[in-house]
Structure 1
Amino acid sequence: MSGLSFAFASPAILAALILLPAIWWLLRLTPPQPRAEVFPPLRILASILKREETPARSPWWLTLLRMLLAALVIFAIANPMFNPRTNTLSSGGPLVLMIDNSWASSSDWERRVRTADALIDDADAKGIPVSISFTAEQGNDATPGAATAARDKLHAMNPRPLVPDRQRAADAVKAALAGSKPGTIAFISDGIESKDKDDILSRLAALQPSELRLIEGDGNDILAITGAANNANDMTVTATRLNGANPLRLQLIAQDNQGRPIANGSLNFAGGQTVATGAIAAPFEMRNDFARINVDRYASAGTVHLLDDGFRRRRVALLSGQAADEFQPILSPLYYIERALNPYADLIQPNSADLAKSIPQLLAGNPSVIIMADVGRLPQESYAPLRRWIENGGTLIRFAGPRLAAAPADDPLVPVTLRQGERTFGGALSWAEPQPLADFPSFGPFAGMPKPTNVLIKRQVLAEPTPDLAERTWASLADGTPLVTEKQMRAGRVILFHVSAEPQWSDLPISGDFVEMLRRIVQLSRSGGVTSTEGAAKTAEAMPPYRLLTAKGVLTSEIGSARPLEPNHKGAAVASFDNPPGLYGSEEGFTALNVLAPGAALRPLDASAAGAVAREGLIGGEAWSAKPILFTLAFLILLADSLIVLFMNGAFPRLGRGAKTAAGGAAVLLLALSVTIFLHPASALADDSKPGDDAIFSRLDKTHLAYVVTGESDVDRISERGLAGLSDYLTYRTTLEPGPPVGLDPAKDELAFYSLIYWPISASAPMPSNDAINRIDAYMRNGGTVLFDTRDAINTMGDTTSPSPNGQRLQQILANLDIPPLEPVPSGHVLTKSFYLLSSFPGRYADSPLWIEARQDTRRDGNAVASSDGVTPILITGNDFAGAWAIDENGSSLLPTVPPDETQREYAYRSGVNIMMYMLTGNYKSDQVHIPDILQRLGQ
């Protein structure tokens, strides 16, 4: 495969260019121009005499135009070829193809497939067997075989959201070759080091191929988010890129768990910089709703950073058994706790020192965690609300101190039974010397942390030995006595540090381990907080795959062969074949696993240590000839030359000198245009027609109902006439006056102009392309809504076990979309009252329910009221709405309802009105809780 992008098929013809000087000399001559003579006969007779005439010189611009004509003919005969290819594979052994199908290859995967296809075609032409392997696959059969089998395997493969395991693929190739030497090894790489000191090229060179090729893209679109931190004032996002030559400005988009953008920020790379940090500024409550961070205009698993509860800031309430000393703050029990948690949590403190008042005040603030530093006896009326708050999911952290040591042993808010008094160095319950900490157990939040080496415990409160004490101990001293214990109380927990929160009893508060221990415990709590009246939440212990990330950065419910993520792993989890990137857990709680580890940096693959490696780029496109373009330009120039000569020879005598000058200027302009087309032939021939400003403004001046063009004339006509009928009904019955309906091709047309897109499903229509589905998915993520209508309610007749052909086609489309859970429109939903009061949503048929996004806050009794301001991104029905709305040019209905009933058609129109009002105004009517009181007052 040649690395050149331009070549001549017949380069010998270019030797004719040496004749251009002679052509120049010949073309300078031109017949003399006619002269105007006076009429008198004697002058005519005198001019009859013959005399020798000398040709005049032609204008320079005409000579240049003719020279260009001659050059174009010579170049056209030489047949210039763009993206030429030559078959240069070595015949000394099989062709070995190793292809990176990692997350970084998703942006130019089609070019990689075309490049590999071309190499396989070359091998097929020479009868060379092909061995093909992929670096992001768990199993590879790299046995050399026929080119047809390799081509089928190539086209069945897709990018994976994983870091490539090149060593595994190289081992598979080595085992398949069984000691024989390959001919050409072509490594189509993503250009990134998969690990420190990646020696894959050296390992491939050790197979002793006749030729080793490294084929890469330019790497300009390869970047990834490697970390996000929810700080006190904003969320900082760290990203890395592969090619850091030029400055780059990126827009960061934060989305909630329903895919709606709720905040944005920026991240800038300076020239030569490969790692940069940006920020997303938003209030604390809004940042807690972030579910993922995207990089705008980049679609890969690397440019998506998933977030879970661990990234959300908790609201932590602080209580102390003693008042703070403003003159000596470091003696306050809360001083070190505040500084340890301030970067990671939103801290609140009561305004009153009276615990009977401060505890209800803190509970009213809906905290996730309450920390009590040396609080012994609580007011009696405080135990009941505190206990309810813990059982409903709250986390209570207590620190020991003199007051707690003197508290009653039957305190219900202590995880273990305490002995009276404390154990001190040199006291009655003493040890010979201060005790260090023991290794942290393999369970609990401290698992994986190294043992603190600079912490000594001088005093502690002791726990009475019980059979389950070891199971409740998260940290202990070297002598086995507990340091941190916990007790589960339904959905919440109580945690006790057996030392004080200030450095009087130990060195723990002034160590870095204190910060990490508190941070880990706080992250165990519920991020949204909990009130004392909520129902008990369920805590999931297992972490099965819940939603997995595709190579394009889309979350999907297809988990394939993914295995559960171990909850008690040591250190941060790393994405692998068994645990691909995504969300693990359940809807009630999950853990996010991203492609790259925190702090990772993208580095280019080093080929210097592998010796002789031929580096090439990916195929940019198919080979094509410029001969037709050159001959067309030559013909146009010849035509222009003929017209110019006719002008100069007086063929148009009535035109003056100004017209001739204009003709010369036109020739020069044609010359410049020809050069421009020759320099940019591909862009000149490409059809990049897009809607101009006039078309855009025509879509913005009014609200237009849109429908997806299926390619079937009868279906598209009903869709167009149906939306026209609904538009007329909206004009007559509401203040909305929509414009004419618009037919859309989702793969090409801009979708952001329309709040609702009607999609009639037809099993006989062509399956939408991946590009169309991806654009529909992006449209739904950005706030748009698609109404899918299978139009098959009369065919299914209530049978949901076997979907109709249209239903099967809808399933195929939805399988490629990241859709939320669905439910039929419940009673009380905004769709039932956005304009008309409705209990059902009939169309031409009335048996199919209208499916919408299932709300996460649905009450168990079914009397739910949506609390979110969002609108469902998807509606599904089989009632054939457009068939009921469709009218002809006279306003008469085109299709009858089933059964024939004009009342049903009226309710079909009302359903359309409610849907449009819901799209345009949101679910604001769900919050009309004061309407009864207002109506009662108006009645009085």
Structure 2
Amino acid sequence: MSLSAITFLYPAMLAGLLALPIVWLLIRSAPRSPKTVIFPAARILRGLKSKRRDIQRAPIWQTILRCLILTLLIIAAARPVMNRNDFAANDGAILIIADNGWDSAANWRQYRTALQQIANQARFELQTVYIAQTAPEAAGATTWKLPDIVGPVSPNDTKNLFDRLQPRPWPSDYAALSDLISERPEMNRAVGSILWLTSEMDSPGKAKIASELLDIAPITTISPTITDRIAIRSLSRSGTGMLATLAHNRDDQPREINLLARGERGNVILRHTVEITPDSDQSDVAILLPRDISNAIQSVGIEGVESAASVFQTGARWQQRRVGVVVSSGDGPGVLSDQYFFLDRALSPYADVTYAPLGTLLEDKVDVLVSAGPISGLGSQFDALERWVNEGGMLVRFAGDSSSQIGNEFLPVTLRLGNRDFGGSMSWEKPKRLLDFPDNSPFHGVEVPDDITVTRQLLAEPDPDIVSKTWARLTDGTPLITSTPRNAGRIVLFHVTPWADWSNLPMSGLFVELWQRLLPLASPSNRSDAELQSSLPAQTILDGFGRPHQPDALILPVQTPLPTPNPRHPPGIYGENGQAVALNLGPSLSDIGRDVVWPSGISTREITDQSQVDLAALCLLAAFILILFDAAILLVLNNVSLRRSRRSNALTSLLLAAVLTGVATTSMMMPAASMAATLPEAALQPRLAYLETGNAPVDRLSRAGMTGLTEILRRRSAADLNTVDGVNPETDELSFYPLIYWPLVDGQEPFSERAQERLNRYLNNGGMILIDSRDREVQPARLRRLLAGLEVPLLDRAPSDHILFRSFYLLDHAFGRFSEPLWLDARPSQRLDGVASVLFGGNDWASAWIIPEGRDELRSEDISPRQREMAYRFGVNLVMYALTGSYKGDQVHIPAILERLGR
């Protein structure tokens, strides 16, 4: 510790040190002790004891010690502070502008440190605070706006406000902030300094609002020490893998980052090191990958950068479909390259295209079948093709060459005899153009070029449902592309040929875009519903740190073309039934490498980790210890010992016995109350466990509840489990426990890296954790903060027919002290037999599982006997589910059950 880092808030109090010489003289001013003179006549007094005490001068060590005590008290009154963060002048209120747009997430920990330092200074200086944010939030039914400026607030209330601040996965709105500040004239008059937590990245309106704020008060910008900015701008498939484009700030030296590709459950399936191009704001990366690995990628992120801009989700369009083009067995390569040239050029970058007869393609189980004209080989493969379509296949058909008949089977609409010729020598009509795509079309939002013309088409009969089946129409209203679902599959018909004799559509870039929209509809991962949606609801969304979570009611569906990420449409996956569309933040960002040019008069400083420390408490503690030391020495010097006072002896003995008894009791109770069993015991004797929180009442409640559940299991089932253990992921081995109960408490800190590693290994090996918020409130943000670093899958609401509710008793709810919904793995891994590894709710199950006995202080009086009984039943189901997995869902039991019901 350097003395230069120490300052005094009240330096005038140091003038008290001038009184130290006077105190020194007062202590040393006692008269000298008398000299001893030998006087013979005084020998008769020898052996007499006098109780009179002569006045003596204080010893030098005592004088120094007491002067030191006084010095410490004077210094404490002067309020010494180490590493004082002098951000703002003490001449008015402080306006804190916290940048919480997408670019703040990567350095949010430093931002939180700076906010704490500012709060400490405001508390020391007794300054009021105003807090403004720069990222808008949802407001009203469909709009959003910037949150109101909070204040004036006292320094003690700022901590709670700072805890609520979170980065948002969309840009800041500085124009709206300027309007908010202009609407608060009373704040502008009270503010004496402005502290702006922001990065050096330039954004629209940032320099302008800085110039306006200089007219109100001096500005100090506080920036993070890490200046690297990076985002994934685009991600696309190539014939050999994938291509990524990274946007970043310029740097003279090359640097390396790691790209992490994650699968469906969030597990890392690829780590690739990338070298950032120096002296450039963009880097293009090509990664060689097999097709099956590329198809498994659900998102790509940047290791060590927690930001929504550093995560790029793929969606259903990413998966490369297997497309089979139906041809005759005698067609050679030359004929195929001639006829299907434009079709192949449109499909080959985005799909694996195979040319083969119909029977071969059906055996290969392709995702999409394409046929031009009559389907070759349909006679012998009719049933197989019908079964393939009904089970989820997509059949795309085109008109044939010059004939008008393409067959009457497997068509979305009824065709008229003959065809319509707009541009022939016997026609008086001109070629037709395309209208904009309707709302019910998956092509809605794609811009139609003016040069697309159609000279010939197959005409459809005007059926009552022709409008709902039409995906594209010409200017006269006749259909150009029609479609209809067929059970789980779909049939699509282009009313023109796939070559350029009827239309120039196959020659255009629009043909490529249409196929880009068509291929994701043949999603092999979801064929349960063939109905399409033009309004795509959110499946999962990203927060400011790039972590996926379930959407709330504030998130609105999207329509194509996709909007720029905003509070109503944050980045994430939108759509259902194979229409999963990824809305990413990176493609909407531009010039993230450009630094802002601040106007003159603005001071800048960096965030440091040196927190302000108040040394006054340490000085008072040191003075108190020295006073005790001085008192102890005086006792010794005056012969006041424990042996000379029976009363003191008794009191001291009693005190010592109490201390020893407490220590012994604590040492005896600790292993039984909080320590996990040894490895051999846990391996040979199955038992339940609860996660220790450090909160004694909550831990006692958890232990009592899990003990009660263990007893209920022993009474009602064959599961004879041993005593409950309290476990700590930092030190205990978790793999022996089939179920761990985790109660959430206020102020609980996230796990360390060691604990995260142990918990991840526990979940990946088949373990199960029941997380209980205990307050009926299921807060995804709170859970995401606590589970940061854990490989936790996406959670979804448990359906009433889930196997968990059938594992022992027949239930329809996760009963506890309350009866709120239960959340669990949305897509449990088949490697773990489809069993959920994480369950989350707020029903306070531990309170409901306690077995009431006498005047038990832990029992809950607000739980009715019926509710407690249902909670017991759910607890039994939960343990059976953890022990047996999906055993009860096995279809092999259906015949036996039906036979029993028949009797």
TM-score under structure 2 normalisation?
Answer: 0.64
| 2:783 is the alignment partner of 1:816 | yes
User: Residue 586 of structure 2: which of 585, 589, 596 is its match?
Assistant: 596
2:457 paired with 1:451: no
The answer to whether the 8 A contact 1:109-1:159 is kept is: yes
Q: Is the 8 A contact 2:94 2:129 kept in 1?
A: yes
Aligned match of 1:544: 537
Say which SS state the counterpart of residue 266 (structure 1) adopts.
Answer: strand
- Cα deviation for residue 366 of structure 1 reads 3.7
Distance 1:782 1:623 in 2: 42
Query: Of 586, 610, 621, which aligns to 2:599?
Result: 610
After superposition, the Cα gap between the structure-2 partners of 1:262 and 1:114, relative to the gap in structure 1 and judged at 3 Å, is: closer
Q: Out of 517, 520, 527, which is 2:517 matched to?
A: 520
Q: Is 2:192 the counterpart of 1:192?
A: no
> In the alignment, which of 134, 159, 162 is matched to residue 167 of structure 2?
159
CA gap 1:869/1:757 in 2 versus in 1, 3 angstroms = closer
The answer to whether the aligner puts 1:579 opposite 2:569 as a matched pair is yes
Alignment deviations for residues 465-507 of structure 1 (CA, whole Å, 9 cap, x no partner): 6376666554455676654343455654433323322334444
Q: 1:346 to 1:307 in 2, by over 3 A?
A: same
| Equivalence for 2:436 | 440
Q: Decide whether aligned partners of structure 1 residues 109 and 701 sit closer, same or farther in structure 2, where only a CA change above 3 A counts.
A: farther
| Aligned partner (choices 762, 769, 774) of residue 748 of structure 2 | 769
For 2:732 and 2:207, how far apart are their aligned partners in 1? 45
2:84 equivalent to 1:84: yes
Larger CA deviation: 483-492 vs 183-192: 483-492
- Alpha-carbon distance in structure 1 between the residues aligned to 2:272 and 2:681: 31
Partner Cα distance (2:176, 2:745) in 1: 40
- Deviation, 1:462, is 3.7
DSSP-derived class of the 1:115 partner: helix
After superposition, residues 3-42 of structure 1 pair within 5 angstroms as: 7=5, 9=7
1:785 aligns with 2:767: yes
Alignment CA distance shift 1:813-1:155 (3 Å): closer
- Aligned CA distance change for structure 1 residues 756 and 546 (closer, same or farther; 3 Å): same
Distance 1:426 1:825, change over 3 A: closer
Q: Equivalents in 2 of 1:449, 1:588: separation in Å?
A: 19
Q: 1:83 and 1:130 mapped to 2: Cα distance?
A: 21
Question: Quick check: 1:248–1:270 contact (8 Å CA) kept in 2?
Answer: yes
CA deviation digits over 1:807-838, x for unaligned, max 9?
537957997255333358966x9997xxxxx7
Partner of 2:255: 247
Whether 1:496 aligns to 2:501 is no
Q: 1:265 touches 1:279 (CA, 8 Å); kept in 2?
A: no
Instruction: Say which of 309, 314, 317 aligns to 2:316.
Output: 309
Q: Which residue number corresponds to residue 325 of structure 1?
A: 332
- 2:203 paired with 1:214: no
Q: Is the 8 A contact 1:226 1:239 kept in 2?
A: yes
In 2, Cα distance between equivalents of 1:563 and 1:527: 26
1: CA distance, partners of 2:481 / 2:550: 39
- SS of residue in 1 equivalent to 2:522: coil
Which of 339, 343, 349 aligns to 2:349? It is 343
Shift of 1:463: 1.3
Q: 2:552 aligns with which of 524, 536, 559?
A: 559
The amino acid across from 2:361 in the alignment is L
- 1:134 deviates by 0.7
* CA separation of 1:229 and 1:917: change in aligned 2, threshold 3 A: farther
- 1:757-906 alignment, distance < 5 Å: 758-759=740-741, 761=743, 766-767=745-746, 769-772=748-751, 779=760, 785-788=767-770, 807-808=774-775, 816=783, 819-822=795-798, 869-874=833-838
In structure 1, stretches of 5+ residues that fail to align are 13-75, 631-697, 727-732, 791-805, 833-837, 859-864, 886-898, 900-906, 933-940
**Offset, 1:372:** 0.7
Quick check: 166-175 or 765-774, which moved more?
765-774
Matches within 5 A, 1:334-483: 334-350=340-356, 353=357, 355=358, 358=359, 361-375=360-374, 379-380=378-379, 382-383=381-382, 386-387=385-386, 389-390=388-389, 393-402=392-401, 405-407=404-406, 410-411=408-409, 413-421=411-419, 423=421, 425-429=423-427, 431=429, 435=431, 437-443=433-439, 444-452=441-449, 455=452, 457=454, 459-464=455-460, 466=462, 472-476=469-473, 482-483=479-480
Deviation at 1:136, TM superposition (A): 1.1
Partner Cα distance (2:708, 2:765) in 1: 24
In structure 2, list runs of 5 or more residues that go unmatched.
Answer: 12-74, 137-143, 620-677, 713-718, 785-793, 852-864, 866-872, 896-903
Q: TM-score, normalised by structure 1?
A: 0.62
**Amino acid corresponding to residue 100 of structure 2 in structure 1:** N
Aligned to 1:105, what secondary structure does the other structure show?
helix
| Equivalent AA in structure 2 for residue 873 of structure 1 | S
Show the counterpart of 2:626: none
Q: Do the aligned partners of residues 773 and 581 (structure 1) sit closer, same or farther apart at CA in structure 2, a change above 3 Å counting?
A: farther
Residue 320 of structure 1 deviates from its aligned partner by 3.2
TM-aligned CA deviation for residue 717 of structure 1: 6.8
User: How many Å separate the matches in 2 of 1:513 and 1:588?
Assistant: 22
| Residues 382 and 815 of structure 1, relative CA distance in 2, 3 Å threshold | farther
Q: 1:322 to 1:481 in 2, by over 3 A?
A: farther
Q: How does 1:634-653 map to 2 (within 5 A)?
A: none
Q: How far apart in 2 are the matches of 1:908 and 1:407?
A: 60
Which position in structure 1 is the counterpart of 2:32?
none
Any idea what the Cα deviations from partners look like across 1:8-40, whole Å, max 9, x if unmatched? 549x9xxxxxxxxxxxxxxxxxxxxxxxxxxxx
One-letter code of the match for 1:255?
A: G
Q: Aligned pair in 2 of structure 1 residues 225, 701: CA closer, same or farther (>3 Å)?
A: farther
SS at structure 1 position matched to 2:447: coil
- From the superposition, tell whether residues 452 and 755 of structure 1 become closer, same or farther in structure 2 (CA, over 3 Å): farther
> Could you tell me which residue of structure 1 aligns to residue 108 of structure 2?
109
Output the CA distance in 1 between the equivalents of 2:88 and 2:850: 64
Please give the alpha-carbon distance, in whole angstroms, between the structure 2 residues aligned to 1:318 and 1:380.
17
Label 1:324 to 1:616 Cα distance change in 2 as closer, same or farther (>3 A).
Answer: farther
Contact 1:399 1:499 in 2 (8 A): yes
The amino acid of 2:411's aligned partner reads: L
Q: Give, in whole Å, the separation in 1 of the partners of 2:891 and 2:460.
A: 56
Secondary structure (helix, strand or coil) at the match of 2:500 reads: coil
Q: Deviations over 1:405-435 (max 9, x none)?
A: 2446x55515352441462744434656xx4
Q: Aligned pairs, how many?
A: 727
Offset from partner CA, 1:311-341 (integer Å, 9 cap, x none): 222222211368533345531x333322321
Aligned partner of 1:265 in structure 2 is 271
- Structure 1 residues 418 and 292: alpha-carbon distance in aligned structure 2, compared to 1, 3 A threshold: same
Deviations 1:730-778 (A, max 9, x none): xxx99xx99x9985445x56988777562264xxx84462514997798
Please tell me whether the aligned partners of residues 816 and 848 of structure 2 are also in contact (alpha carbons under 8 angstroms): no
Aligned-residue CA RMSD in angstroms? Answer: 6.0
